[in-house]
Amino acid sequence: MADMSSSDLAMDEHRLETPFSAEALARLKLGDIVRIDGVIFTGRIGVYKKLFDEGAEPPVDIESLTNVTFHCSPAVSEKGPGEWEISAVTATASFRFDKHLPLLMDQYGVRCVIGKGGMSSEFYRNHFKRLGAVFLNTVGYGIGAQYGRGVEKVEAVHWLEELGIAQAMWVLRVKNFGPFLVECDTDGNSLYQMTQKETNEELKGLYEDLPSPILKRMGEMHNPEDEVF
């Protein structure tokens, strides 16, 4: 990773079936494009509080079901009693779940997290690298309907009454679900961190001759990198 740059990204395409094998995960490199077949489950703070703060038993055997989870909010309509249709899926920021995510990964075998924005480099090193896990990021904004088209069927929904549609645990059967971008690989490398470092290097020259007050925000910022990002 130390010698890798964005110009080295192959951006290979993969279509993987859940649960992802350790070998399949290890083949995923930063910037690769992934589409998914199989079963995944959604989880947000409501699910995590039920599992880890309240000590509730999981409503399904997560580890035998799948090792892929999605931080998202689905747009759902009920076609009939217990019959659901998802028209769109919108990712939510994953860094908000850094307290509970290690517990989910350790206790229930999750090895692929889909979300938005990624996690910190330290988090990746401490947890994703240790477990051989990857983080897949949604691509762009306004394509929730594209992801919705990849949902073949709602297999089950749990804790709907207690948590509501956005926070409930949805078990989804998906086909050609994506595209997603590999943000963190099994070595704990981060695409965001790599590209941010490159951008900062490019911008240093633009900022180096500016007087110090311009590089500060309300007298707090002293580093041009902090000012830009």
pLDDT of 197 strictly over 90: no
- Map tokens 């070998």 to a residue: 23
Instruction: Answer whether residue 113 is part of any domain.
Output: yes
Pair (161, 203) in one structural domain? no
Would residue 207 count as lying in a domain? Answer: yes
What pTM, to 2 d.p., does this model score?
0.87
Q: What DSSP state is assigned to residue 57?
A: P
Beta-carbon contacts of 19 under 8 Å, excluding residues fewer than 6 positions away, are 38, 66, 67, 68, 111
Joined tokens for residue 226: 């902090």
pLDDT single digits (tens) 76-125: 999 998 899 999 999 999 999 999 999 999 999 999 999 999 999 999 99
Q: What is the CATH number of the domain that holds 77?
A: 3.20.130.10
Please measure the distance between the N-terminal and C-terminal CA atoms of the chain and give it in whole angstroms: 22
- Cis, bond preceding 213 (omega within 30 deg of 0): no
pLDDT at 2 over 60: no
Average pLDDT over residues 18-34: 98
Strand pairing partners for 172? 40, 154
**Residue 202 and residue 103 share a domain:** no
Asked if residue 158 belongs to a domain, the reply is yes
In this structure, are 213 and 185 located in the same domain? no
Q: Say if CB 37 and CB 85 are below 8 A apart.
A: no
Residues 161 and 200 placed together within one structural domain of the fold:
no
Tally the domains of the chain.
2
Q: What is the pLDDT of residue 10?
A: 86
Q: Tell me, yes or no, whether 110 lies in a domain.
A: yes
**Does residue 213 share a domain with residue 121?**
no
What DSSP string describes 146-164?
HHHHTEEEEEEEESHHHHH
Q: What is the pLDDT of residues 116-141, one digit of tens each?
A: 999 999 999 999 999 999 999 999 88
Q: CA-to-CA distance for 33 and 157, rounded, in angstroms? A: 28
Range of the domain at 118: 8-189
